[in-house]
Structure 1
Amino acid sequence: MTKQSHSKHIYDDLDRKLISLLRRDGRAPVSKLADVLGVTRATVQSRMDRLLETGALLGFTARVREDYEEDYIRAIMMIEVIGKSTSQVIRALRGMPELFTLHTTNGNWDLVAEVRVARLHDFDRVLREVRMIDGVSNSETSLLLSSV
């Protein structure tokens, strides 16, 4: 599979409307999307396939109530990467289901991750695993205690 550049494809109003609908309900049936957009199901499906192929859509997620995961241990982890190994480190981190979000950033840290785990034992394991990834030179983690 060849990687296409995001800038080579021009997205039209139908693409933008479809993306907007999927942001509201990523699990909406193709038939419902087609009805709302006033096009055929085949058109919606081909647009979704192309948006996935070009990288405009990265996938579909379920939205969860905020209080659903309130018993989770949450933390923010800042990660420093050695030299030019950022892509390699990102690939390794993406494979860890406990990392809820991952961002590149500027300043002293190269990456910022949100960690979500059920138990302290899991938290300890995740910290150890991240620090053992080739290319990770340093990390600093802060537990999120309460939202204010």
Structure 2
Amino acid sequence: MLAKSSIQITAPRNMSRSSTSLDETDLKLIALLRRDARTPVVALARALGVTRATVQNRIARLEREGTIVGYTVQLRPDVERHAIRAVMSIAVEGNRAAEVRHALTGHPNVVALHTTNGRWDLIAELRTDSLQAFDQVLNTVRLLDGISTTETSLLLGTYK
């Protein structure tokens, strides 16, 4: 199996998480879709003990409300174009977090960006085609205005 579908679930931009109420069936449906978003509606209905129409209506509602924002494909790491993967922990100077976030979200090799607590302010997931490109990305990111310190770890293996 080369690819597996997954689902991205976040609070919609125009709603707070508290305004989106998910019941037990919604949560179970989301868990099943996260495992494999290509599961047939009939199989989802059987697993949930509801009708196909119920599953179809719930998926449509979750998409319409913005709870489900998209579907993706997960590839085996060995078939990824960007074979070099890493996480970069970033400390931001003073109140420059928004400026740094803006710069990083526009960078093509930053595939995900997370805020965090503790020693680091941000965690960036990086992907490149080669170690040479990776070195260039590191140098570019480290020189961004507002970044005080970084620590980077290459991802060697993926298990889930």
After TM superposition, the score normalised by the length of structure 1 is 0.70
1:28 Cα offset (Å): 4.4
Distance 1:21 1:82, change over 3 A: same
Distance 1:85 1:46, change over 3 A: same
Using the alignment, how far apart are the partners of 2:61 and 2:157 within structure 1? 44
Structure 1 vs Structure 2: percent identity of aligned residues?
Answer: 42
Who is 1:46 aligned against? 61
CA deviations 1:58-105 (Å, max 9, x no partner) are: 432212224434982233322111223324423432333423443333
Distance 1:88 1:3, change over 3 A: farther
**Does the 8 A contact of 2:89 with 2:122 survive in 1?**
yes
Distance 1:106 1:44, change over 3 A: closer
SS of 2:75's partner is coil
**Of the candidates 141, 152, 156, which is equivalent to residue 130 of structure 1?**
141
Who is 1:64 aligned against? 75
**2:28 is equivalent to residue 17 of structure 1:** yes
**Structure 1 unaligned residues grouped into runs of 5+:** none
AA aligned to 1:22 is L
Using the alignment, how far apart are the partners of 2:58 and 2:108 within structure 1? 34
**Does the 8 A contact of 1:100 with 1:114 survive in 2?**
yes
**Of the candidates 13, 17, 27, which is equivalent to residue 6 of structure 1?**
17
Using the alignment, how far apart are the partners of 1:119 and 1:38 within structure 2? 49
Give matches, 1:64-143, under 5 Å: 64-69=75-80, 72-143=83-154
AA aligned to 1:106 is N
Using the alignment, how far apart are the partners of 1:14 and 1:91 within structure 2? 37
Question: Larger strand proportion, structure 1 or 2?
Answer: 2
Distance 1:145 1:33, change over 3 A: closer
